[in-house]
Amino acid sequence: MNPNPETFMREAIQLAEEGMRGNRGGPFGCVVVREGRVIARGSNQVTSTNDPTAHAEVTAIRTACRELGTFQLADCELYTSCEPCPMCLAAIYWARIPTVYYGNTRGDAAAIGFDDDFIYGQMPLTPEKRSIRMDPLLRDEAQKAFKAWANKPDKVRY
């Protein structure tokens, strides 16, 4: 039997439930699939690892990249129990994952106390209008590394 999208989503949902019941973190689970096979699994581990970046999608993407020996997952699909937060969405873009399936919406997450809409609202603002203070500092010095990268002949592009 060939697994279908619902099979993979059910696994992501199961991971969300198991992680939450095991007190590893919030009720979020994720699987990364390549050619009809689960490459990596992840569940939210924020509270158990004291790592605010240990969301289900990020942990699954990290595992998938290690498993496949690459930082791009352009031939994979991601199944997540909830619409990705801004951080996870950015990680999905960085990993070049072309298709995401999600169960709950960000509105569903907000209804149980996970309100990512605040961050979504901050993203389009210019740095000086965000709620986090953001001040430019030592740009001329920081530019040296960027100029060196621009001229580096053996860089690995991503």
Residue labelled with tokens 């996870």: 88
Task: Establish whether 57 is a catalytic residue.
Answer: yes
- Helix, strand and coil in the chain, % to nearest 5: 45, 15, 40
Contacts of 57 (CB under 8 A, 6+ apart): 28, 30, 42, 78, 80, 84, 88, 91, 92
Closest by CA position to 77, among listed 29, 38, 19 = 38
Task: Choose, from 11, 17, 57, 77, the residue flagged as catalytic.
Answer: 57
**For residues 40 and 60, is the Cβ–Cβ distance under 8 A?**
yes
Which residues carry out catalysis?
57
